[in-house]
Structure 1
């Protein structure tokens, strides 16, 4: 006999806070990379690729941690193939958006086009990630939160691309280092809030039906605990290495400046 029950959930506020920290930290480091874009074309392309990879991965990692905050009253697994594919989608679309914005003279047309591309990619990442969640329960989505989450993703991406351009502008380069640092930190906090806002709005759209007492394991299913440890370790490793690179670069420029005086 197959027993069924309504699938309920609770929120883990520790994971919610961690998801915001990851989103804000990834946004700040991306701003730092944007401010170091420079004029050399090959150097710009490498930094754009690094920035797109870092921000796309950071958004995906935040999404996964946000999924961990959504604690379901059932045995759950993740489809590893879909989970990885959703992360690659975030990186690909965010990187494409950065190249669109940096492909010529900055304009609101470029910002909006890039924002649409990145926002679409972030939405694909989010809802593909939801598809990867295996509970044995059918899922449906509420129309209004779903549409609102897509709008937030596009708006957040557009604002992020605009801020990336501003920190590398002539006006920004004339600011004192302390002032520019505070602006980038504040912008990172705001961008982090927007990214997290999109995620949890999207989470509000999902509705679960009833779940079977047994969960069928697919070929690509993986244990939640193992996947969580791997992603969290990789996230802090990647963001930490990026921060070390930024700090090292700042120190080297300071030494070069002093030697030239």
Structure 2
């Protein structure tokens, strides 16, 4: 079996790395601060981030493949090429759903990294299967080396980017992601040989390098456009609104408790609940359930954010998962080393008081 001579266009190699880095920056930036957004907004952001990251994996691969130099003319199967893009996007989407709709533990972060790494590998080898008039021949070292590198680097990228959601960690995570996609491709290619075929193994329509170039340019244009759009969030400072001319600046200031509104959702619509109307809050994963005397709402704040905002205005944390409005508590009962708070509305459930919070509850309720 005679192997073909292989070379690469150095400019397209560099461009493929840039595409991978830009896709990583775009996707990881789109998932910033999702805990402060509604479920519908989170779903949209995750879908866009999956397209950016998965589409970036696909675009990087085929930018590099456009730079592949073989002594024969070769084509791509359009159906297999499209399938490779969908695989990358769906695998990344699965990882992002795990990260943003489950309790984010070290195991979840590692699982997400493994899924993204597997998505890069699956996209690469499915994309290579679409080549026509030549056939890739893989070596064991190339497959095992690229697989190990993809999983390790993607676990590092997700771990860094999601350990602490800051601009610095997003930049580091972007570098890890871009290097992962880039190095996996070229390590796999270093362990791949090519042989010429006489016939086209047609599964779907066949496309040439010229048509492929148009598709890659369009996908890269979308990714770079999204990057510029996301980049404005880093550049535009938060503006403090100026006082309205019709407001008396010497008028008495309303109490913060009356001004604070909790961002909530119910029946798909947004509502803002005044803090004095809240009876208690209960942790619900990364979010909270807000109870008033007559209604229950979904709040985008995690319990830690609710504690930070509500304790300064008089709310009391009585349990790891509960915060109560002391003004709404009608009865406090202690049973051995625990307790519970009850409220005026019969339909409201009692709220448990944990042993660690018992003294603070006794001091508050007598």
TM-score w.r.t. structure 1 length? 0.83
Corresponding pairs, count: 241
Report the more deviating stretch, 100-109 or 143-152: 100-109
Rounded to whole Å, the distance in 1 between the matches of 2:46 and 2:186 is 28
Q: Does 1:207 align with 2:193?
A: yes
**Higher relative helix content:** 1
Report the alpha carbon displacement of residue 188 of structure 1 after superposing the two structures with TM: 2.0
Report the alpha carbon displacement of residue 89 of structure 1 after superposing the two structures with TM: 0.1
Rounded to whole Å, the distance in 2 between the matches of 1:19 and 1:167 is 28
Report the alpha carbon displacement of residue 51 of structure 1 after superposing the two structures with TM: 0.8
- Secondary structure of the residue that 1:258 maps to in structure 2? coil
Report the alpha carbon displacement of residue 249 of structure 1 after superposing the two structures with TM: 4.6
Report the alpha carbon displacement of residue 6 of structure 1 after superposing the two structures with TM: 4.2
Q: Which has the larger radius of gyration?
A: 2
5+ residue gaps in structure 1? 173-179
TM-score w.r.t. structure 2 length? 0.60
The verdict on how the C-alpha distance between 1:29 and 1:167 changes in structure 2, with shifts beyond 3 A counting, is: farther
Q: 12, 19, 42: which one pairs with 2:9?
A: 12
**Higher relative strand content:** 2
- Equivalent residue number for residue 220 of structure 1: 205
Q: Higher relative contact order by CA 8 Å / sep ≥ 6: 1 or 2? A: 1
Rounded to whole Å, the distance in 2 between the matches of 1:146 and 1:250 is 39
Report the more deviating stretch, 14-23 or 190-199: 190-199
Report the alpha carbon displacement of residue 13 of structure 1 after superposing the two structures with TM: 0.5
- Secondary structure of the residue that 1:35 maps to in structure 2? coil
Output aligned runs, 1:130-169, within 5 Å: 130-136=128-134, 138-166=135-163, 168=165
Contact 1:34 1:164 in 2 (8 A): no
Report the alpha carbon displacement of residue 18 of structure 1 after superposing the two structures with TM: 0.4
The alignment's C-alpha RMSD in Å is: 2.3
- Equivalent residue number for residue 232 of structure 1: 217
- Secondary structure of the residue that 1:259 maps to in structure 2? coil
Contact 1:34 1:165 in 2 (8 A): no
